[in-house]
Structure 1
Amino acid sequence: METMFDTAIIGGGPAGLSAALVLGRARKNVLVLDEGRPRNRVTGEIHGFLTRDGTRPAEFRRIAREQIAAYPSVRFMDDAAVEVTGTNGRFRIATAGGATIESKKLLFATGKKDLPLDIEGLSDIYGKSAFVCPYCDGWELRDKPLVFIAKGAGAMHFAKTITGWTSSRTLCTNGPDELTEEQREELKRHDVAVFDSPIRRIESVDGLVRQVVLEDGSAVPCAGIFFAPKLAAGSDLPRALGCDVTETGSVVVDGFGKTSVPGVYSAGDAATELYQAIMAASMGMLAAAGINGELLEEAWNGKG
């Protein structure tokens, strides 16, 4: 592929697709590299996204690609980036399929990836009756008995947040709770039962949780679970290129998605810990505006 693209977008989820749409409408020559393994593929529906509430993730991506196809300057390649070299104005991307792509700017929309779920039975219900975000999936579990799996400050956050959807909630800390006495008393005042025995397994039928079984023999019946996932960066390429990255794997960006490396941007779950599709799409739009502004400025000054 000999074309020098204005922007190469690595990642074809809501952030990458949103950026592609904005840049396509800005008449920029764009390539979207998409390996087709979005983190939200385990979920049945996207929620909280105006006009797309309840849409299946695969359908969301299909509609987005169909709309972006109206802009001929945007191309898609179903492939994965494995190496990125170069500097602002001339980046070179090598793909798993053996292609080499050159681009003036880069946008990493590579998201995060789930680390293996270390509780027996949790993977069977993940995306069906076990979720990580009450804002995304709390409505479907409203007024039902819920278990949330967390420790310490995270447990307190979950306890308060889940109250908006149900008053029947139980904390399973899967080991030492890491709570202060004051926090334990606070949970007790709000009728939140706390079990600190390690979880032996989660029992379910056809993806619907029935109960959480603990090592001490206790069983906690429930109709849904929320838990804090263990995540890693969706790609190591931003770090390898020199981008500043937080301890949790998020690429450090400014308000328009610009990283610490000139010409390199990031958006969506790759650059935030607010994991919602509408947030990712919004960040993709802002990054696209930042990239377009930079390209226009360079062209204006005869550097494009």
Structure 2
Amino acid sequence: MSNFEMDFDVIIIGGSYAGLSAATALGRALRKVLVVDAGKPCNRQTPHSHNFLTRDGETPAAITNIAREQLEKYKTVKLIGDFVTDGSKLTDGFKIHTLAGQTYTAQVVLFATGITDVMPDIAGFAECWGITILHCPYCHGYEVRHQSTGILGNGDIGYEYAKLISNWTDDLTLFTNGISTLSAEQAKKLRSHNIKIEEADVKTIVHENGRIKSIKLQNNETYALAALYTRPAFTQHCNLPQQLGCDFTDAGYINVDGFSRTNIQGIYAAGDNTSPMRSVAGVVAAGTVAGAIINKDLIDNNYI
């Protein structure tokens, strides 16, 4: 037990889908919860969200707004718009500081902070990201089915991505953006499925308000496209988990067990910061699991 009363049972850093889902589960468990959200979700440029039951085709902002409205009835949950700048481990809990100059304490912390996509140095890429330059065919593939589509990738990743996207279209080109690192066998298999391979460097994404028209290569070849799939590099949106000693996977995700627990007792993580499976449905589920596990762990700790 703490030698002083904590402000909250749980502080959730990040108020998008995973954070709001966890807050709902914890609010229904009568937990005193603070959600701190900086208001910069990674999908803020995406016009529509798909593959989420009852909300297929909604805007990401609309889904978030509904979640926040429904969360208001749980009076033990407080949501603030702020940015967490620092944090530290206490004897029996955690302390965080925010950009607005506030300090809060809690028994445990959940990081639902997502990731930051690192845009490649290609003109027009950032403007199209999340609109017609896509990462997930399950989220967006149906809307561009049977249309001229590109893959930006190379090697094993490019090969597997091209195989996957070929389920949605027969008009597919793999742009390796430089000398191909596909194996001879991989290249042969892709070509046997009529997937074209283009090795020239990418120069420009030609678009209109984020709607891709074509991809222009350094050799001045141009390919008309309706969509381009890729998986850009990323960084963690928040560096506090690293500062507090959390372990990370080789791919750069916060390392958690099957129940959102990190290697640091009292610190949990859920959502895009822990997994490459980026979807609204997935992170909502992860947040619900995290909330339930956190509540159970708090109960168990009270019975020690």
Q: TM-score, normalised by structure 2?
A: 0.96
Aligned to 1:235: 238
Q: Which amino acid in 2 is paired with 1:56? A: T
Work out the CA distance in 1 between the residues paired with 2:154 and 2:186.
11
Alignment size in residue pairs: 300
* RMSD after superposition: 1.3
The alignment partner of 1:124 has SS state of helix
Q: Which amino acid in 2 is paired with 1:124? A: E
Task: Confirm or deny that 1:115 pairs with 2:124.
Answer: no
Picking from 153, 159, 173, the partner of 1:156 is: 159
Pairwise CA distance, 1:234: 1.2
Q: Which amino acid in 2 is paired with 1:111? A: G
Work out the CA distance in 1 between the residues paired with 2:37 and 2:50.
22
Picking from 201, 226, 237, the partner of 1:223 is: 226
Task: Confirm or deny that 1:38 pairs with 2:41.
Answer: yes
The alignment partner of 1:270 has SS state of coil
Amino-acid identity (%): 37
Pairwise CA distance, 1:124: 2.2
Aligned to 1:91: 94
Pairwise CA distance, 1:217: 2.0
Aligned to 1:293: 296
Work out the CA distance in 1 between the residues paired with 2:287 and 2:208.
38
The alignment partner of 2:43 has SS state of helix
| Aligned residues of 1:47 and 1:136 also touching (Cα < 8 A) | yes
Structure 1: gaps spanning 5 or more residues: none
Task: Confirm or deny that 1:126 pairs with 2:129.
Answer: yes
Listed one character per residue, the Cα deviations across residues 206-231 of structure 1 (whole Å, up to 9, x for unaligned) are: 32212111111211111111111111
Pairwise CA distance, 1:3: 5.7
Picking from 257, 261, 264, the partner of 1:261 is: 264
Q: Which amino acid in 2 is paired with 1:74? A: V
Q: Which amino acid in 2 is paired with 1:67? A: Q
Q: TM-score, normalised by structure 1?
A: 0.96
Q: Which amino acid in 2 is paired with 1:119? A: I
Aligned to 1:246: 249
Q: Which amino acid in 1 is paired with 2:211? A: L
Task: Confirm or deny that 1:106 pairs with 2:109.
Answer: yes
Aligned to 1:18: 21
User: Which ranges of 4 or more aligned residues in structure 1 deviate by more than 3 Å?
Assistant: none
Cα distance change on mapping 1:58 and 1:130 into 2, 3 Å: same
| Aligned residues of 2:6 and 2:107 also touching (Cα < 8 A) | no
Cα distance change on mapping 1:30 and 1:265 into 2, 3 Å: same
The alignment partner of 2:213 has SS state of strand
Cα distance change on mapping 1:182 and 1:80 into 2, 3 Å: same
Q: Which amino acid in 2 is paired with 1:65? A: R
Work out the CA distance in 2 between the residues paired with 1:165 and 1:135.
10
| Aligned residues of 2:94 and 2:106 also touching (Cα < 8 A) | yes
Q: Which amino acid in 2 is paired with 1:12? A: G
The alignment partner of 1:66 has SS state of helix
Pairwise CA distance, 1:299: 2.2
Q: Which amino acid in 2 is paired with 1:150? A: G
